[in-house]
Each structure stands twice: as structure tokens, then as C-alpha cells.
Chains A and B, each alone.
Chain A
Amino acid sequence: MSPRKRQQFVRGGQYVVFAAVVLLVVFAADWSSLRQNFANLDVAGQAFPELITIALKNTVIYTLSAYVVGFVLGLLVALMRLSSIAVYRAVALAYIEVFRGLPALVVFLIFGFGLPVAFPGLTFPFDQYGTVAVALGLVAAAYMAETFRAGIQAVPRGQMEAARSLGMSHTRAMVSIIIPQALRIVIPPLTNELILLFKDSSLVFVLGVTSLTTELSKFGGDLATEHANSTPLVLAGATYLVITLPLGYVVRRLEAKQRKAR
């Protein structure tokens, strides 16, 4: 067999294997059970409108509030990381390493159980919402700080020199010249961070949520347990994807645009 023929043969074989697997799955699967358990319209009807009006709404609130906390704190930590004062650098580095190294779940457990036991009477503003914003925000800040640092360092040195040569102070140059350019550079990774936070907001369940403060994962899980049927989980999952897929597309577009601009 010529090498060319051989290649065609192998390629054909790969299609045959794929078709065989698909046929096997189609015939072996119990379709009525699948439909009954994962796409049950009666159970699906039970999920509305709370899936949107409570679960999705809370997920979005948790995500955005944590994002704002993470953004502000992350930028602050990044500036400390780049400070000329060694103590600030050390504190920032320790913060980043600790919170990037810890699973978010552990942070939530500390906020859910550790802190209330250690400091009875400790409360966060806006109750559950405040706790989530701080706990998730602390984790997000560590990642965002590293992103901001990379962005600031990606701005060419000459920009700072030009700003200083015009008589701007270091702080003024950072605020007016360096940070605005750094923010443009980090928009794609920061949008990725938003997607990650959106998913991580599901960890809120360890704080114990009520029917009013529940979010998508917990909502879907509870309803699935109640009806002994997985349809609510499928719905919750689909709702995540409705948000994350377009965001992911936006990130890819922004990255492509930046590559072209360079």
C-alpha cells in the first residue's frame, strides 16, 4: 500500500470507529428513562419563575458584588506588590500566595463557621450578601491582583518616563497614564475572572442559604432532591451556560482584537 493510500485507509477507519460508538450509545441508552429523569417537563414547570427571579438574580448579585470587592482590593494589592516599600510588597505577596493557594471552599467554611464561632456577634452589612461579597471577593482579589500587576508591567517603561519628564509625580503618572493603559490590557483576563466567579458563587451553599438567598446550583440541587429528578439541575446548568458562553465569546473577540492591534 502506498503511504497515501495508507493514510486514507487510517482516516476512514477513524470515521468508522466514531460512527460505531455513536450507534452503540443510541441503541444502548434508555431514552425514556433519560427523558424522564433529565428533561421532565412537569418538574421543569415547577422550577419557574423562581429559577430566574430568585436563583439567577442572587447568583448575579453574589458574582457582581464579589467582583467589585475583588477589583478594588485586587488593584490595591497589585499596587502594593509593585511598591518601593518592602513591607507593602511582602504583605501583598503573602496575601496573593495564601488566597491563591487556598480552595475557595475553605475560605467560605472559615467565613461560615470559623468566624462566627470565634467572634460571636460578628455580622457583615447586608447579611448573607455582604458575607459572600467579602469571602468571594477576597479570593477573587488575589487572582485579580496578579492580573493587574502583569498589566501594569506590560505598559512600556517609556510611558512612565515621558510622564515624569513632563513634571508629573509618580502617583499622578500611575493614575493618569499607566493604570488606564494597564486596564485596557487586562480586560480579557478580567472578563475570564468574571466567568470563574460566576461559577464559584455556587459555593455560597456552605454558608447555609434560605429560600430567598439561594442561588442557581443550590436551587437546582434542592428541587432535584425534592422531586427525585435531575431536570432542575439540567435547567440550572443551562442557565449558567446562557451567561458563560457569550462571555467566553466576548473574551475571545477582545483577545483577537488586541493581538491585531499589537
Chain B
Amino acid sequence: MTAVEIVDLHKSFGDLEVLRGISASVATGEVVCVIGPSGSGKSTLLRCVNLLEQPNSGKIVVNGVEITDRDCDIDGARRRLGMVFQQFNLFQHLTVLDNLTIAQRKVLRRDKAEAERVAMDNLTKVGVADKVRSYPAQLSGGQQQRVAIARALSMGPEVMLFDEPTSALDPELVGEVLGVMRQLADEGMTMLVVTHEMQFAREVADKVLFMDGGVVVEQGPPDQVIGAPQHERTKTFLARVLDPIHRTE
């Protein structure tokens, strides 16, 4: 079954055409990684799927519901999509527990006890249950990002979107976040991940999309796209990323 279907998506910021006809799909239970150079439009693509950016044209269907339809309830659609940001974006004025319960209570109308039970389950899963009374500023970047993942999971999303979730982390903290993501993937969560972590994409992804200049240049299983790229642009990009010291200009 198809969880996310993207059809001929276009997005411009003023005169700058960032997405120039993107078509892609994510099957239920599948992990799709989007790779590509900065400015290739990968983050914009992900933000369009959550309607944080309004696409200019094209269609996005999530589990049979066309969210780009004018009559679609945007808030309702977003509830079904979990989003994890590069900068974590935890609510700074709330404790870890309240970060996880506020949307459950205000949006899903769950009662306090149930919201807290769900929150604790997810905090335990990501391994920060002991920080439940802390404020975000008291946590390390890796802990904050794991809390952010737990916050998104607490809404019971059908699909999880990750926007460069490890790019703002100190190198030694990247592993703990990727570990949680790998665990999610193993549990069968449908995931669309924008990332620079080639090792993660190679090992966890079912499918890799290489984007450049607002189009999908190449897509397929990781062994094919990362292991044996066909296009020149993909080869150049991978050469730079995988061997930055001897990169070929």
C-alpha cells in the first residue's frame, strides 16, 4: 500500500524555483531517505509534505487523503504526520513531559492520565524517561532530538518525517539519534528522511532518492543509488560526501 504519494510537485520562492516537478512515493512500512547537496530542495520537499510550505502545484496524497486539496483540513492532516526538525524545536517553556502531552490534550483531547501514559511509553522507547521533569535547555542536543521524536510519536502518526535530524548535533551525539530512528524503522514505521548520513541511508533505507536542482535525479534501492550510481551528478555528490578530503571538484 502507498502511504505517501507525491505527484509532479512544484514550489517556488519568488523567482527561485526550488521544486521542479517532483514525483515520488513511500509505501507503508517503508523507509525512504532523500539525499542531495544543499539547496537541492530536499528540505522544501519534506516541508511541503507537512504543508509547512504550500506547494504551487502538484498533488500530495497521504493514505488516500489528498492533503493538497483546498478543502482538506490541514490541521487534521498534520496530526497524521509526525515531524522532526533539524533544530529540535522543543517548546522551551514546558517540561519534557508537557512537551509530549500538550498536543495530545489540546488536539486529540486525551485526558491527562492517558496523555502521560503515552508520553512515558515513548520517552522510555527513546531512552530519556529519566529527564521527564527537565526543561529542554537542560538537555544535550541528542537528548532534545530524542524527546522531539517521542513528541511526534505521541500523536500516533501514520508517517514520520525527518528533516536533517542529526545535522545540528555534535558528532558524538549523532549515533544515539540514529539508533532511535533505526529502531523505529525496525518496528515498521513509515519514514521519509532527509539526511546527510550516508551510512544510515545505506543500512536502513528501503529506497534512496537523490535530488539536485529541484528534481529527483535518481532513485532506487540504496545499494544501487549509493553503491552504484548511474548519473554523473550522483557520482560527483557521493564522491564529495563519502571522501571529503580527496574530493574531486
**Residue in contact with B79 in the complex, picked from A158, A166, A172, A261, CB distance below 8 Å:** A166
Minimum Cβ distance to chain B for residue A178 (Å): 10
The answer to whether the Cβ of A97 comes within 8 Å of any Cβ in the partner chain is no
Cα–Cα distance between A184 and B78 once the two chains are bound (Å): 28
Output the residue of A161, A162, A163, A166 with the most chain B CB within 10 A.
Answer: A166
Q: Given A166-B79, A167-B75, A168-B75, answer yes or no on A161-B89 (Cβ-Cβ < 8 Å).
A: yes
Instruction: Indicate if the CB atoms of A176 and B52 lie closer than 8 Å.
Output: no
**A residues 231-250 with Cβ under 8 Å of B?**
none
A interface, size bucket: 10 to 19
A172-B106, A172-B107 known; A165 and B137 CB under 8 Å? no
* Interface bits A174-190 vs B (CB < 8 Å: 1, else 0): 00110011001000000
Q: How far is the CA of A133 from the CA of B76 in the complex (A)?
A: 43
Residue numbers in B under 8 Å from A169 (CB-CB): 75
Bound CA–CA A165/B78 (angstroms): 6
B89 touches A158 (CB 8 A): yes
B50 within 8 A of A: yes
Q: Are A180 and B93 in contact (CB under 8 A)?
A: yes
B102 at the interface (CB under 8 A from A): yes
Task: Please classify the interface of chain A as helix (H, G, I), strand (E, B), loop, or mixed, using the class held by over half of its residues.
Answer: helix
Q: Complex: how many Å from CA A73 to CA B240?
A: 57
Contact (Cβ within 8 A) A168 B103? yes
Given A164-B78, A165-B50, A176-B102, is A184 in contact with B155 using a C-beta cutoff of 8 Å?
Answer: no
Q: Name the residue of chain B whose CB is nearest to the CB of A261.
A: B137
| A95-141 CB contacts (< 8 Å) to partner B | none
Contact: B155 with A167, CB < 8 Å?
Answer: yes
CB under 8 Å from chain B, chain A span 203-262: 261
Tell me whether B92 and A165 are in contact (CB under 8 A): no
Contact between B75 and A159, CB atoms less than 8 A apart: no
A168 touches B106 (CB 8 A): yes
Per-residue CB proximity of B44-80 to A under 8 Å, as 1/0?
0000001010000000000000000000000110110
Over the window 79-99 of chain B, the binary record of Cβ atoms lying under 8 Å from chain A Cβ atoms (1 yes, 0 no) is 101110101011111000000
Residues of B within 8 A of A177 (CB): 91, 93, 102
Provide a sorted-by-A list of 17 A–B residue pairs whose CB atoms are within 8 angstroms: A159-B91, A161-B89, A162-B83, A162-B85, A162-B89, A163-B103, A164-B78, A165-B52, A165-B82, A165-B152, A167-B103, A167-B155, A168-B103, A168-B107, A172-B106, A172-B107, A184-B93
